[in-house]
Structure 1
Amino acid sequence: MAINKAMRIALKALSYPDLDVKKNYKLHRQMTNVAHPYIKPKYEMWDHKVSVGDYDIPVRVFFPPESDADNRVLVFFHGGGWVIGNIDSYTTVCSNMANMTGHIVVSVDYRLAPEYKFPTAPEDCYAVTKAIFENADTFGVEKKNITLIGDSAGGNLAAVVSIMARDRGEFMPSRQILLYPSTDSDHSQTSPYESVRENGTDFLLTTKRICDFIDLYKSSDEDLSNPYLAPILSKDLSNQPRTLIITAQYDPLRDEGEAYGKKLYAFGNEAEVYRMKDALHGFISLPKHFVHVKRSYELINQFLNNESSN
């Protein structure tokens, strides 16, 4: 359904363009938990921790009703601007994901900014992914069937973990799925992406919020040019996983996500980019019967099964 005039007015009212996220991020976290309460899924679920130094990273493992013998795994990184969100607020999303893909889903509760600034989040996500790869044989999981997936800031983290894996040479994912990802650090009015200006004020996620999130996330201004924060700034994107990127039409992050797919392709990688018509940022958190969610899982399953999306 296209966004009509009445819906646009409602969205503008909900966008709160003047709300200072930097001063109210704790309130945002509370609102997110209220909007997406923890509801125990119908299917099997297991809470675990992955030790990194003196810190244990919580993970939540979701099992589909009928799991394939080779135990295909999706390693999931949640969205929320690196500042809000957690494995509880994404439990319904991950339960649906396990059910609709037939994959085991491992949701990573990485540490959030500003308490833990960059590069804590990507290092946490890298550590959990490394542990999954190192223990794949023990649990009967084929490494080729381990896929990274994330939405928004989580899509950013999936892309970053893939670059880190290439750089460090300890493991290498064969696939990654990036849902409306953040890939750049410039969301000012001089941004090279037209979607920042087209969709930056009236569609829930505003450019002001994005800039506030990045200010809370970065440790210094030098981080803004670091490809582990803004992967599209990487001078070398060779040897990256096969990639599916799904963007949303009315999303300020739309163009940078699509540009990342083009840059991956330019460096010789296999990359598919699909723009979800009439969709807003964050749509994967909608109930699973919504058209954008159903279409996304059609694309995701085709990608995971090496089928054409045409």
Structure 2
Amino acid sequence: MAAQDGPAGRKALLPISFFKIILKTNLQTLKIPKKFTERYGGGLSNPVFLKPRHGTVREVYWTKQNGEVWFQKGWKEFAENYSLDYGHLVVFKYKGTSHFDVLILDQSALEIHYPSCDQNLDYESDDEESDENLGEWKDQKPNQKSPLLSPQPHKKKRGENSAAQRSSLSLNRPMGARAQEVAEAFISSKSNPFFTVTISSYDLVRRTKGVPALEGYIENIDKYVKLKIGKKRSWDVKLIYRHTANVRRILSAGWSLFARESELQLEDVCVFELISRKEEKPIFQVHVFKRRN
């Protein structure tokens, strides 16, 4: 166990942990326990580095106000990426050199299922097309605009898919209580597999969107998929495969066009239903559940 100098020459043992309960008031900024900052604050760099399990190290900048240390720049984005909500508990394990391991528990006191990849990463690829290069996607109509309907989860009918069957069709356990609620209520009319995601601020400004691994459903190569809303609107989006521990699949070129033209908003929940597994271009029917105001 490592030691670090504390006030008045005291030796502070590492690692050391503290936790914070998430409230609506600390999703924008987060106050660090005073006793921790008194003992370790003198050695903290700015920014510090947060590392969730199965996640990527993130930089968070802090400020000092009236002798208290607050996480500010970068904390809001961290909270959004991991869908932190009222009642979540976040455990910070300080390992020294300004690095924290982070453990996140949901309202049921169980550890969350972390995203398959961080949603704010910008992946570069020599063959990755620009979103503005629309010539390859002839079936798209960039100027077409229509209000996006907000479908509701299908109501369960007597004798229809059981909860266990629905669970077996879901390809991920989504982040956030509302996304989990939508996934649990969703019923595919043809027993198609599906995954569920919550739209974050990064999804609306970046060119990429991390999605589940889709193992056994789509071969492990880069390829285009078709995203459909309703019967007439569709977009071709490049699905990139990355054989790494944290990142497996990324919706890339064409994603921002899809998000913009389908008028996705922060905290919308999307169900991606795999309705066709054609080798040349798998098709996902996208069901959008608008955020609650």
TM-score by length of 2: 0.23
TM-score by length of 1: 0.22
Q: Which has the higher strand share?
A: 2
Q: Which has the higher helix share?
A: 1
Structure of greater Rg:
2
